Structure 1
Amino acid sequence: MKNLDKVFGSNVFGESVMKERLTKPAFKALKNTIEKGLPLDTSVADEVANAMKDWAVEKGATHYTHWFQPLTDITAEKHDSFISIPSEGKTILKLSGKELIKGEPDASSFPSGGLRATCSARGYTIWDATSPAFLKNNTLCIPTVFCSYTGEILDKKGPLLRSTQVLSEQAVRVLKALGNTTTKRVISTVGPEQEYFIVDKKTYEKREDLIFTGRTLFGAMPPKGQELDDHYFGVIKDRVAAFMSDVDEELWKLGISAKTKHNEVAPAQHELATIFSDSNSAADGNQIVMEVLKKVALKHDLVCLLHEKPFAGINGSGKHNNWSMSTDDGVNLLDPTDTPHNNKQFLLFFTSVIKAVNKYADFLRYSASNAGNDHRLGANEAPPAIISIFVGEQLEDILEQIEKGALTSSKGESKLDLGIKTLPVVTKDATDRNRTSPFAFTGNKFEFRMAPSSTPISSANTVINAVVSEILSEVADRLEAASDVDAEVSKIITEFVKENRNVVFNGNGYSDEWVEEAEKRGLPNIKTTVEATKALINEKNIAVMEKFHILSKAEMESRYEIALEKYSKAINIEALTMLDMASKKILPAVIKYATDIAASINTIKAAVPSADVSAQTELVTEVSSLTAELNKAIAVLKTSNAAAADKTDAYDQAYAYKFDVFEKMSALREVADKLEVIVGKEAWPFPTYSDLLFNV
């Protein structure tokens, strides 16, 4: 691609476009909101709206939409044309300040968890000026917050914006108490890594389960999976490389810094990572990344699968959420520097995060929960369901020194010399990495490795920002009341380390020994989404969200209802899809296969009475036996699913789907997968794992 610098951000109403098209006062007012977090001066809305419209129309846009993120985990849009007819026979193109600031979609048709009745339909989308407008197809997309008529937040962006505001306030209080009077704002920064699968479109279209649920509900393992480790970082196939190239270009046009791409561990699995930005921009950007991946794939006759576990037996997909805090003048508050033992500011913020993670582990676990992620967490492909923190050798040593009361030194960097004269000697990092840790410190940031691949990163970052804000608020209260701030800082750091060392673990999170050890340490092991939802109605978690006006108790309870309902619906759809595939495709196919084998036995016997047909007889006997098991498993699942659907309590229903229906689904799959292995490929009614994973 030529002129990448000119392509990047070309479809974004960003700073350079605003500076060119707005008057100086309007540009300054908008910049104050975006960069300083100051209240939006609505008096400039008409000018901004008109400039946006002119810019968009010049680039071919015909419509605008308030782009928002309801509690469906995907984005939503209602398109309006720029056409206005002020008088008969006259047509003009117009976007007013009022239309820019406020939209009105139906608030009763989106998930609300009881906050809105069906008859109470009015809702509002309100312009988020801190997130730039962008062009998609022929539409100007204006990022907005979605709320009800009565002011309840009904989306993912609103709580995230509130949490970033609160984190800034509390972090600035701490810095001010430490003597820093120049920092006016602290920004939570995020760099997400998105994993996904790519499969052939024609093959995908023959799999009802992939179409309806995003994952394969049946499928025996092929002879080869990921055991040779040959796909990870391997040469990218030409067809996938062409797709990735188009994805990069589309994202760059939208100002999204797609930086890294590579093959992941499982066959047909890949990853895309973007450069760090503020958490709001990162969350918006990741939503766009997921949409672009899916749309561009279709143009290449491919399909992008974002489900956490589309294939059994091989690694699933997650989303690594790299989180940190930076001041408005670019100082990373989680940078330990070369001598972290002498860096009390770093240690104060670092240990505050440790305490927050330990105290609110259940809340963090919830933020990484959905039906798909239940297949990953705890397996040897993703962090366990137990929340722990990896800090590395250098900081582990410092924590031990703090506990002993003698903080004197820091383990430094060392050199790596491979003994090959033509290779340079390089500097090693101060510590290794740990891919089994759910919340790992990786140099100057924390990597939350549990987030699901298919859902927005907003929820996880809202929770991280909120719980860290709570601890920083405690720290600020103590420092502001202290007569000797330096002594109080040392006291706080020591207390936080001694009280929260139980959550620090540098070992193998995949091991059975860690599960036992974690239980001894008192760390929660919340294995399923259903159980994790309880965090939303935990008074401790409600208290922190209400304290900072991020979410009210009613809004937390509504999300509890939504999470349970979403889980139940997901498993119900999977169960119904399994029943449909098993009854209408697998069962008829295996009966026909057995019938054809039986007929062949009779034909052979008639032609050659002395022929040995024992192999055919054994085969038809085995297929017939498994077919009977399949038929029985279908009936059992049907009964179990109907019983779960009849339950009226949201938690009881979700629990039944997880611990009864899902077990019956697994039993049905086990029988079907046995049949797939022995039934001839030409007789099997849909593409196999070999077709899906190695056909791109």
Structure 2
Amino acid sequence: MAQLRFEALKKLSERTRVHADLPSTNVSKFFGENVYGPEQMRATLAPALYKKVSQAIKNHEKIDEVTADAVASAAKAWAMAKGATHFTHWFQPMTGGTAEKHDSFFDALAGIERFKGSELVQQEPDASSFPSGGIRSTFEARGYTAWDPTSPMFVYGRTLCIPTVFVSYTGETLDTKAPLLKALKAVDLAATKVCQLFDKDIQHVVASLGAEQEYFVVDKALFDARPDLVMAGRTVFGHAPARGQQMEDHYFGSIPSRVYDFMKDFEIEAWKLGIPVRTRHNEVAPSQFEVAPLFEEVNVANDHNQLMMDVMGRVADRHNLRVLFHEKPFAGLNGSGKHNNWSLITDTGVNLYAPTSSARDNLMFLTFFVTTIKAVHSYGDLLRASIATAANDFRLGANEAPPAIMSVFIGSQMTAVLDELEKKGNVKIEKGDNMYMKLGIDQIPEIILDATDRNRTSPFAFTGNKFEFRAVGGSDNCAVAMTALNTIVAEQLDKFFAAVNKQIEKGEEKRLAIVNVLRDYIKESKDIRFEGDGYSDGWVEEAAKRKLGNVKNTPRALDAYLTKESLDLFEKHEVMSHKETEARVEIRQEAYMKRVQIEARVMGDLAMNHIVPTAIAYQTKLIENANGLKGLGVDNAAVVQTIREISGHIDTIKNGVRAMVEDRKRINKITDTHKRAVAYCDEIKEKYFDSIRDAVDKLELLVDNEDWPLVKYRELLFLR
């Protein structure tokens, strides 16, 4: 295996740059050219039909069969002009990724290319092997995908991709998109009711999302030479390099040439697919980067994020690179998050989280601002559960990520506003652009002081005109977290609306009724607000006093979905039935176990088949050396000491792996899914992973570099 490592390093030295040329320096000329969006519909459909489809999409109405046939015919002609030969229903099952089954436009029996409205609207992929959490048995194969017209079709390669939901034969949802769409509808209805307390012209409220995607990039040959990266997505072994991220010189530094070429190529492909990527930069850890898009409606933004990750992987392959989305691929270095920047926008163009110079709009802003904080306070454990995965457990609470404790950061200015409102019920909100921070440097102009500072340690922070849910993991599907967030906000807005109307019915003036309810919410939700260092031990102690949850592992965090309060919440808003919620917990518990099991097997394989034999072979060389020194009468104590150290680490590894295998066998006999997941957490991951890794990483420093079988961190992270 050491030979494989050095062959990979040799390939690295032979790499040449792959250049990608922009179709035009004016991106607007080709942006969205592979998307069958509103402009393409307008150009290919009769005006009456286009109007009918647009209204149906806007009002979330069903599209009739005749209209579907017209759309299908037009979409087929457009796609074939782009070189497409097939179509697929593109959906998001509970596997963590996307799925597709390609069908040809060509009908051999008829001898023509055709695409019917019925094929656009509904397809029947085999559902038997997708996770269902007990909703479906393996022998019950039937499942349906159904067109989501609110997310545009697109041509990817030579295939027309149709975003769809995925449901079982018995009607239960089996994907991440369907619950998200229902949660977005719930928050639209609830937010619109509240908005109409202030402005009757508001008819809809749309949730928007901008997902900042962090990721690592490594050379393909080096990746292929690390079985743990290939099989588990992270390095289960690897000693920290002498230089990691402590100099912080990688952050916002000059982008390496090969990565720069990859970024340009990927951005071109993303723009053609209508993905509005805008920002790119180096992140803190070596070989870590970030891409950030403009804000879009949540459903479309999530589809784009899922598609973007696929595009990044395919484009990276052209550049002999591999993209890593795992939350913690390298121990001791920053992991990768997917910061979900979320806000609510009215159909009149008002961002409900942006203060203005209007007294009425500011009271509306305060209503949504305070109500959202109250929602996080009431359902913090559920929000924590929404981002619980085996991979994110490695990241949450580390130096670059928020802790597992859910808290809200709002900044000093907004804290003062809420404190004043709580005391007096009458405040004046100053716009952020009316406040300035002087730097005392003559040649530097005054800098506008935003309404809030930034707090990297907060899992849920207000950042001026949006909330940033920073705790979402880099490989996560945003839909899961966004389903939870939009549902809890919808519920709290409903409660707010009812509380205000109750006071109005008792004779209270509307404005005072609103302020009274907000004052109550501010008092009740104070414990969730935290402005300090979320990494500190002091916050852990303080959070415990405030009775805030601090669940550090996935199996226990997911329990929050199964409380009566959570089950009833999702059912009330028609997001998920009790059965669907329980099934999702079952699926995620199973996924957790399988992930830990795979990592344990990878550790055992690498340790017993590669590390231990390498260490024994090197130990044999040292024994020969020690005997030679002894025969010459030279002191061999240092060599003997090294031999003993190696022997001790080998024993630790062998005993640990053998015991871990036996414990896995025992745990696999546990029939209860939750108990088995907890056992994998406590009795496999927590009991063995660190001790086995520590012994292997110590051997990496003792064994001759020429003999070590695994590509080292310094090679993975710094050689390009």
TM band (smaller chain)? over 0.9
Equivalent residue letter for 2:661? K
Alignment partner of 1:664 is 2:688:
yes
Alignment partner of 1:214 is 2:251:
no
Taking the aligned partners of 1:238 and 1:474, their CA distance within structure 2 comes to: 54
Residue matched to 2:588: 563
1:618/1:339 CA distance change after superposition, 3 Å: farther
Q: Does structure 2 conserve the Cα–Cα contact (< 8 Å) formed by 1:341 and 1:408?
A: no
Q: Does structure 1 conserve the Cα–Cα contact (< 8 Å) formed by 2:657 and 2:692?
A: yes
Residue matched to 1:39: 62
Taking the aligned partners of 2:137 and 2:343, their CA distance within structure 1 comes to: 39
TM-score (norm 1): 0.97
Residue matched to 2:668: 645
1:304/1:120 CA distance change after superposition, 3 Å: same
Alignment partner of 1:542 is 2:567:
yes
Quote the offset at 1:500 in angstroms: 0.8
SS at match of 1:372: helix
1:381/1:338 CA distance change after superposition, 3 Å: farther
Q: Does structure 2 conserve the Cα–Cα contact (< 8 Å) formed by 1:36 and 1:185?
A: no
Residue matched to 1:230: 249
SS at match of 2:610: helix
1:472/1:13 CA distance change after superposition, 3 Å: same
Taking the aligned partners of 1:328 and 1:183, their CA distance within structure 2 comes to: 6
Taking the aligned partners of 1:154 and 1:257, their CA distance within structure 2 comes to: 28
Quote the offset at 1:339 in angstroms: 7.3
Residue matched to 1:620: 643
Residue matched to 1:173: 193
Q: Does structure 2 conserve the Cα–Cα contact (< 8 Å) formed by 1:341 and 1:398?
A: no
Q: Does structure 2 conserve the Cα–Cα contact (< 8 Å) formed by 1:341 and 1:410?
A: no
Residue matched to 2:119: 99
Taking the aligned partners of 2:204 and 2:135, their CA distance within structure 1 comes to: 33
Residue matched to 1:636: 659
SS at match of 1:621: helix
Structure 2 unpaired stretches of 5+: 1-21
Alignment partner of 1:430 is 2:454:
no
Taking the aligned partners of 1:573 and 1:579, their CA distance within structure 2 comes to: 10
Map 1:548-587 onto structure 2 (within 5 A).
Answer: 548-587=573-612
Residue matched to 1:138: 158
Equivalent residue letter for 1:17? Q
TM-superposition CA deviations, 1:54-109 (whole Å, max 9, x none): 0111111110000000000100000000001354xxx1111100000000011121
Question: Greater CA deviation, 616-625 or 62-71?
Answer: 616-625
1:310 corresponds to which of 325, 329, 345: 329
Alignment partner of 1:682 is 2:682:
no
Quote the offset at 1:199 in angstroms: 0.7
Quote the offset at 1:191 in angstroms: 0.5
SS at match of 2:706: helix
Map 1:70-219 onto structure 2 (within 5 A).
Answer: 70-87=93-110, 91-178=111-198, 180-219=199-238
Quote the offset at 1:682 in angstroms: 1.0
Map 1:342-361 onto structure 2 (within 5 A).
Answer: 343-361=362-380
Quote the offset at 1:341 in angstroms: 9.9
Question: Greater CA deviation, 147-156 or 614-623?
Answer: 614-623
SS at match of 2:35: coil
Q: Does structure 2 conserve the Cα–Cα contact (< 8 Å) formed by 1:196 and 1:306?
A: yes
TM-score (norm 2): 0.94
Quote the offset at 1:525 in angstroms: 1.1
2:549 corresponds to which of 524, 532, 541: 524
Equivalent residue letter for 2:461? A
Taking the aligned partners of 1:41 and 1:342, their CA distance within structure 2 comes to: 39
Alignment partner of 1:10 is 2:33:
yes
Equivalent residue letter for 1:45? A
Q: Does structure 1 conserve the Cα–Cα contact (< 8 Å) formed by 2:355 and 2:429?
A: no
Q: Does structure 2 conserve the Cα–Cα contact (< 8 Å) formed by 1:389 and 1:503?
A: yes
Taking the aligned partners of 2:359 and 2:418, their CA distance within structure 1 comes to: 11
Alignment RMSD, CA only? 1.5
Residue matched to 1:472: 493
Taking the aligned partners of 2:359 and 2:391, their CA distance within structure 1 comes to: 39
Taking the aligned partners of 2:480 and 2:359, their CA distance within structure 1 comes to: 31
Q: Does structure 2 conserve the Cα–Cα contact (< 8 Å) formed by 1:13 and 1:52?
A: yes
TM-superposition CA deviations, 1:203-262 (whole Å, max 9, x none): 111111111100000111110110000111111000100011111011000000011111
Q: Does structure 1 conserve the Cα–Cα contact (< 8 Å) formed by 2:216 and 2:324?
A: yes
Q: Does structure 2 conserve the Cα–Cα contact (< 8 Å) formed by 1:177 and 1:480?
A: no
Question: Greater CA deviation, 658-667 or 458-467?
Answer: 658-667
Taking the aligned partners of 1:424 and 1:313, their CA distance within structure 2 comes to: 39
Q: Does structure 2 conserve the Cα–Cα contact (< 8 Å) formed by 1:637 and 1:665?
A: no
1:452/1:93 CA distance change after superposition, 3 Å: same
Q: Does structure 1 conserve the Cα–Cα contact (< 8 Å) formed by 2:425 and 2:515?
A: no
Equivalent residue letter for 1:99? E
TM-superposition CA deviations, 1:104-124 (whole Å, max 9, x none): 011121000000011211110
Quote the offset at 1:33 in angstroms: 2.6
Q: Does structure 2 conserve the Cα–Cα contact (< 8 Å) formed by 1:640 and 1:664?
A: no
Quote the offset at 1:47 in angstroms: 0.7
Taking the aligned partners of 1:647 and 1:6, their CA distance within structure 2 comes to: 59
Equivalent residue letter for 2:527? N
1:589 corresponds to which of 614, 617, 621: 614
Equivalent residue letter for 2:427? T
TM-superposition CA deviations, 1:379-413 (whole Å, max 9, x none): 22101111110111111001111221242333554
Quote the offset at 1:435 in angstroms: 1.1
SS at match of 2:525: helix
Alignment partner of 1:453 is 2:474:
yes
TM-superposition CA deviations, 1:660-695 (whole Å, max 9, x none): 101212211111111111111111111111111111
SS at match of 1:39: coil
SS at match of 1:324: strand
Residue matched to 2:415: 396
SS at match of 1:452: coil
Q: Does structure 2 conserve the Cα–Cα contact (< 8 Å) formed by 1:644 and 1:661?
A: no
Equivalent residue letter for 1:118? T
Quote the offset at 1:418 in angstroms: 3.2
SS at match of 1:125: strand
1:22 corresponds to which of 37, 45, 49: 45
1:281 corresponds to which of 289, 300, 313: 300
Map 1:470-509 onto structure 2 (within 5 A).
Answer: 470-481=491-502, 482-483=504-505, 484-509=509-534
Equivalent residue letter for 1:94? R
Taking the aligned partners of 1:269 and 1:425, their CA distance within structure 2 comes to: 33
Q: Does structure 2 conserve the Cα–Cα contact (< 8 Å) formed by 1:340 and 1:346?
A: no
Residue matched to 1:247: 266
Residue matched to 1:325: 344
Taking the aligned partners of 1:536 and 1:195, their CA distance within structure 2 comes to: 27
TM-superposition CA deviations, 1:322-351 (whole Å, max 9, x none): 010001121111112257898211111111
Alignment length (residue pairs):
690
Taking the aligned partners of 2:461 and 2:62, their CA distance within structure 1 comes to: 35
Taking the aligned partners of 2:212 and 2:91, their CA distance within structure 1 comes to: 22
Quote the offset at 1:559 in angstroms: 0.7
Taking the aligned partners of 1:259 and 1:274, their CA distance within structure 2 comes to: 5
Equivalent residue letter for 1:158? A
Quote the offset at 1:166 in angstroms: 1.1
Taking the aligned partners of 2:671 and 2:77, their CA distance within structure 1 comes to: 53
